[in-house]
Structure formats: structure tokens, C-alpha cells
């Protein structure tokens, strides 16, 4: 128990940024847009959140700044792909390169400077016992990620707005023919995905590493994109997948510590497992020929109205 509880608490912290970013990408892809720039948006959100925390010391304001930065960068993608009809895959890759370079440039003055980690949401007295720590020992973004799983499930399945968004992703021409603004819905989805990616990026300096380092997201944005496919575009599967990846990342940390049975496996192998699993999942899904992936029918296709 002394080992399992710290492992669980660590994996929840490691999985939450991935889950938040993946939930945003889920909404974007449900609207029929493929945005591969999640990594770039996360990095821009990370530097915006870090700078806000460094200067103000207010972690909630830092999360807002991270979300705003993610939205701003995502709208660049939106203008290029939705208004100018550029290739979504190429534009998403360019967005990641842009976000990586921009965050490195903006973060240069903050190199190796520390910030205060975000405190747990609930009073420390509630988390004194190890069991209660599993429930009450986390910062606000962890609970936000869990709440958003239920909110997005309800939104997509039970609301009219969610039905419209799914209709735009499944058949944009039909949605357009009955009077819905396909481009408007997709802009809203892209902005929401950018906000979630920005919050996810801000979580890295606020929850995991209290100092700035270039590329501190370490490819987690790519894992978030693959996780949406891995979960077949379903929020609760996304939750399970994010925690599975978080567990593997936690095993890497404990293996690096060099103690216990986990040290028998090289930490480099643990570090590679999430990315190997991502490749394996994408290969397996690409081999399916029966349409069982649940992918939106218009995913990645530009909207070309007939009139």
C-alpha cells in the first residue's frame, strides 16, 4: 500500500494533461476537423501559463492564460484550414513546428527559473490518510479533467448542440443544406480544442515540472491525438486510455529511481512504451476494413458547399 498509493497519485497527475488535451481533440475531430497541432498548442499554453504563474503567482490565472494562448494559436489553424481550405494534415504539422519554435523563443528568458506548483484543491486535512489522499490530494486541473469527461459525454450524446456538432462531422453537406453553419461550428470546435490544449500545456509547469524547459511536453500532444483514435472517439474510453498511458509514464519515473522491482526493467524501455503503444494502436486500427473505428465520416475533409 505504501508503494501503490504514491504510484496512483503520480499516474493521475501524469495522465491529466494528456486527458485534457485529448478531450479537446475529440471535440475537434467529432466536428470533422483533424488538427495535428496539439503538441504545438500545448507548448504555447505551457509558456503562457508559466509566464503568468512566474509574474503573478496565481495558478488559476495561469490556466486562463494558457487557454487563451491555445485558442489564439488554434484560430490560426482555423483560418488556414476552414477559411482558406489548406490541407489539414500539413497545417497541423506546421502548427506544431510553429508552437515549438515560438515557445522556445518566448521561454528563453525563463530558462531554469522555478515557479510554485499548484496546491491541492481541498484542504490538506482531508488528505492526511493515504486512502483519502487518493480522493482529495490533487490540484484543480485533475478534477477538471474528470468532470469534462462526463460533460463532453453528455454534450455529445444528450444535447441538441452536440447533435449538430456530430452531424457536421458526419455529413457536412447535409448539415449545411438544413441551415447549419458548418464553418461556424468547426471554428467553435477548433477554438475549444485549442483552449483545452492550452490548459493541458499549462498543467506541465503547474503540476509536474515547476520550471521552464524547452519541449517540456515531450511529445504528449502526439499521444493525445493517437489516444482519440485509440478510444474510438468515446470520452470514457479516452479516460481509460489516458490513465493507462499515465501508468506507463509513472513506471518510468520509479524505474529511474532505481529501487524496487521496477528497476529491473530499463527506464528507457518504459519511456519508449507509450510511443510504441501509440504506433501499434494506429497500425491495428488502420488494418480494420469494416468501418468499426467510429471515425467521423468527414474527418480531415475540407468543406466544399455546392452553393
Q: Residues 93-115: pLDDT tens digits?
A: 999 999 999 999 999 999 878 89
* Lowest pLDDT segment from 40-54, 74-88, 176-190, 251-265: 251-265
Residue 187 pLDDT > 80 = yes
Q: Can you give the pLDDT at residue 192? A: 98
What mean pLDDT is reported for the chain?
Answer: 88
Grid cell for residue 71: 485558442
Query: What whole-number percentage of the chain has pLDDT above 90?
Result: 61
In three-state secondary structure terms, 266 is coil
Question: Which residues fall within 8 angstroms of residue 29, CB to CB, at 6 or more apart?
Answer: 35, 169, 228, 233, 295, 296, 299
Distance (Å, whole) CA 246 – CA 9: 10
**Segment 41-83, tens digit of pLDDT:** 999 999 999 999 999 999 999 999 999 999 999 999 999 999 9
* Lowest pLDDT segment from 110-119, 192-201, 239-248, 267-276: 267-276
Q: Can you give the pLDDT at residue 256? A: 67
**Segment 263-278, tens digit of pLDDT:** 666 767 777 777 777 6
Q: Can you give the pLDDT at residue 232? A: 85
- Of 35 and 112, the one with more pLDDT: 35
Q: Can you give the pLDDT at residue 171? A: 93
Q: What is the dihedral of CA 139, 142, 144, 149, to 10 degrees?
A: -170
Question: Which residues fall within 8 angstroms of residue 127, CB to CB, at 6 or more apart?
Answer: 120, 133, 135, 136, 137
Question: Which residues fall within 8 angstroms of residue 52, CB to CB, at 6 or more apart?
Answer: 58, 61, 62, 64, 65, 66
Rounded-to-5 percentages of helix, strand, coil across the chain: 75, 0, 25
**Residue whose C-alpha cell reads 528507457 in the numeric block:** 268
- Of 246 and 26, the one with more pLDDT: 26
Residue 10: pLDDT band with limits 50, 70, 90: confident
Query: What whole-number percentage of the chain has pLDDT above 70?
Result: 90
Alpha-carbon distances of 211 from 47, 54, 107, 264, rounded to whole Å: 10, 9, 10, 30
pTM (2 decimals)?
0.91
Average pLDDT over residues 6-16: 87
Residue 289 pLDDT > 50 = no
Average pLDDT over residues 292-296: 73
Amino acid at each position: 500500500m505504501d508503494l501503490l498509493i504514491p504510484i496512483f497519485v503520480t499516474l493521475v497527475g501524469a495522465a491529466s494533461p494528456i486527458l485534457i488535451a485529448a478531450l479537446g481533440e475529440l471535440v475537434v475531430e467529432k466536428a470533422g476537423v483533424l488538427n495535428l497541432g496539439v503538441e504545438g498548442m500545448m507548448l504555447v499554453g505551457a509558456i503562457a501559463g508559466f509566464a503568468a504563474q512566474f509574474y503573478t503567482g496565481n495558478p488559476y490565472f495561469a490556466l486562463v492564460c494558457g487557454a487563451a494562448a491555445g485558442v489564439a494559436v488554434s484560430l490560426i489553424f482555423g483560418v488556414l484550414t476552414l477559411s482558406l481550405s489548406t490541407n489539414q494534415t500539413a497545417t497541423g504539422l506546421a502548427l506544431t513546428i510553429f508552437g515549438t519554435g515560438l515557445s522556445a523563443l518566448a521561454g528563453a528568458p525563463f530558462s531554469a527559473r522555478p515557479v510554485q506548483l499548484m496546491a491541492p484543491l481541498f484542504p490538506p486535512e482531508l488528505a492526511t490518510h493515504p486512502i483519502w489522499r487518493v480522493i482529495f490530494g490533487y490540484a484543480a486541473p485533475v478534477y477538471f479533467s474528470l468532470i469534462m469527461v462526463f460533460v463532453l459525454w453528455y454534450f455529445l450524446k444528450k444535447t441538441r448542440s452536440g447533435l449538430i456538432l456530430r452531424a457536421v462531422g458526419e455529413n457536412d453537406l447535409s448539415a449545411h443544406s438544413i441551415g447549419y453553419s458548418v464553418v461556424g461550428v468547426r471554428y467553435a470546435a477548433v477554438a475549444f480544442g485549442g483552449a483545452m490544449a492550452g490548459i493541458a500545456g499549462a498543467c506541465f509547469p503547474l503540476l509536474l515540472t515547476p520550471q521552464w524547459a524547452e519541449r517540456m511536453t515531450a511529445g504528449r500532444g502526439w499521444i493525445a491525438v493517437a489516444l482519440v483514435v485509440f478510444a474510438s472517439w468515446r470520452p470514457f474510453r479516452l479516460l481509460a486510455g489516458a490513465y493507462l498511458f499515465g501508468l506507463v509514464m509513472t513506471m518510468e519515473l520509479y524505474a529511474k529511481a532505481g529501487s524496487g522491482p521496477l528497476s529491473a526493467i530499463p527506464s528507457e524501455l518504459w519511456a519508449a512504451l507509450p510511443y510504441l503503444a501509440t504506433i501499434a494502436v494506429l497500425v491495428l486500427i488502420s488494418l480494420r476494413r469494416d468501418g468499426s473505428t467510429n471515425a467521423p465520416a468527414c474527418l480531415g475533409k475540407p468543406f466544399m458547399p455546392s452553393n
